[in-house]
Amino acid sequence: MASFLCPLASGSLGNALLVASGRTRVLVDIGLTQRRLKEALAAVGVEPGEIDAVFVTHTHRDHFSTSSAGFCLRHTIPVYASGENLAHLSDTLPAFRKLVRGGLARPMDGEAVEIGSVAVEGFDVPHDSPGWCQGFRVSLGPSRRRRSVAVATDLGHVPDDVLAWFVDATAVVIESNHDSEMLWASNRSADLIERIAGPEGHLSNEAAAEALAEIVGRSRRGRVKHVVLAHLSRDCNTPALALEAQAHLARGKAEPVRVFAARQFEPGPKIGL
């Protein structure tokens, strides 16, 4: 499988997504211990030394932590993020300052970053992390047959300009954090529930379904082939509920979209692109 995407871990205990195109391998977020990350990569046959770059969506520790900085230092992997996010990581993680000193912390503000056979563009998404929360669109392969993966794993709502980044993507990785009924019935504090359900918190299954209906509806027929539901809450969601909310995608267009729910502790699936 020359080009593929694979969620390595997804959820509030750590996130990492692998995108491979030919010989190029990039990761979006690496909020796992070094050991877990190495094990998850091994499960899909990838060595840490093969990783060409890491792209960081935002500064919450389930996306980038001290261990993440240690992993990049150990394997000399450049880390790309918005200037604000690099500054915040540098202010709060002493290990990150070593990456800065080693020239491995690289700002991406506007221009696409080209790494081997992929090009990565960042876009802003609404989420309450210090710095600037981003999604990414990773384009793969030669321009005439270009495929792409669009990713936004933590976002409170999906504004129109964010939706536009997902239109015609071969694979869409989008948050489907909670079932609203389970969230409001949970024993979490009212403040926390309001933060999660708020416009800069996390996306519900229903909100993800609305966004996906728009994305597939606005895309050319058959263009969106895969959807990965990400960052599922372990207390306020289940993979079955998240998948059930997207049943409409199987009915809509001539070529049905394949929908997967990413897991916290099981890497996979490996999705060919």
C-beta of 251: minimal distance to Zn ion in Å?
31
CB closer to Zn ion out of 60 and 223: 60
C-beta of 195: minimal distance to Zn ion in Å?
11
CB closer to Zn ion out of 84 and 154: 154
Where do contacts with Zn ion occur on this chain (CB under 5 A)? 60, 62, 154
C-beta of 22: minimal distance to Zn ion in Å?
29
CB closer to Zn ion out of 62 and 121: 62
- Three-state SS sequence of the chain: CCEEEEEEECCCCCCEEEEEECCEEEEEEECCCHHHHHHHHHHCCCCHHHCCEEECCCCCCCCCCHHHHHHHHHHCCCEEECHHHHHHHHHHCHHHHHHHHCCCEEECCCCCEEECCEEEEEEECCCCCCCCCEEEEEEECCHHHCEEEEEECCCCCCCHHHHHHHCCCCEEEEECCECHHHHHHCCCCHHHHHHHHCCCCCCEHHHHHHHHHHHHHHCCCCCCCEEEEECCCCCCCCHHHHHHCCCHHHHHCCCCCEEEECCCCCCCCCEEC
C-beta of 76: minimal distance to Zn ion in Å?
26
CB closer to Zn ion out of 62 and 179: 62
CB closer to Zn ion out of 200 and 210: 200
C-beta of 228: minimal distance to Zn ion in Å?
15
